[in-house]
Amino acid sequence: MKIKIIALGKIKEKYIKSGIDEFLKRLIPYTQVSVLEINPIEIKDESLKNKVLEQEGERILSNIKPNDYVITLEISGKTYSSEEFAALIEKITNDGIGQVVFVIGSSCGIGKNVSNRANCKLSLSKMTFLHEFARLILTEQIYRAFKIIKKETYHK
C-alpha cells in the first residue's frame, strides 16, 4: 500500500519540516509516502469562502484516483487512539487498497466536494492545530501505526 498526503500550503518553519522529513524517512521500510503541496487560494472576501473551498477541492480531487481510500482531516471527524488508527491502516492494507490519500485542507477547511469523497473523516484532536503541526502529527501517527502493526518498539 502507498500513502499520499495532499496538503494545502507549504511548511515554512524549518523545525517542523525537519520533523516531518524525519518521520517520512523512518517510514521508508514500511511504505512509500509522497507529499503533494497545493497552493491555497487566497480568500479576499469571506462571502466567497465556500466557492474558494470548492475550487481548492477540485484541485485536490484531480490528484485522487477512483480506487484510492481517502481520509480527510476534519474538525468534525472521528478521533482514534493510536492503536485504533493502526487497526484502520492495517484493515485498509488487508482489504487490498493500493493507495491511501490523506487530505489536509487550508486554514478555512476543505470543500464539501472533498469531504463527500472521503472514505473516512479523521480528527487529530478536539484541539485546533496549525496546519503545519497537523502534518507533523499525522506523519508521526502514520509511523507509529506501522510500528504498532509490526509489533515493534516505539509506541509505548
CA angle 48, 49, 53 (to 5 degrees): 120
Q: How many domains does the chain have?
A: 1
CATH number for the domain that contains residue 95: 3.40.1280.10
Could you tell me the residue range of the domain that residue 91 belongs to? 2-149
pLDDT at 106: 86
Asked if the structure places residue 8 within a domain, the reply is yes
Give the residue among 2, 22, 4 at the shortest CA–CA distance from 104.
Answer: 4
| CA separation for the pair 74, 63 (Å, rounded) | 19
Asked if the structure places residue 134 within a domain, the reply is yes
Asked if the structure places residue 156 within a domain, the reply is no
Asked if the structure places residue 155 within a domain, the reply is no
pTM of the model: 0.95
Give the residue among 139, 117, 122 at the shortest CA–CA distance from 64.
Answer: 117
pLDDT in tens, the chain (156 residues): 999 999 999 999 999 999 999 999 999 999 999 999 999 988 888 888 899 999 999 999 999 999 999 999 999 999 999 999 999 999 999 999 999 999 999 888 899 999 999 999 999 999 988 889 999 999 999 999 999 999 999 865
Asked if the structure places residue 154 within a domain, the reply is no
Asked if the structure places residue 77 within a domain, the reply is yes
Asked if the structure places residue 73 within a domain, the reply is yes
Asked if the structure places residue 46 within a domain, the reply is yes
CA angle 122, 55, 130 (to 5 degrees): 40
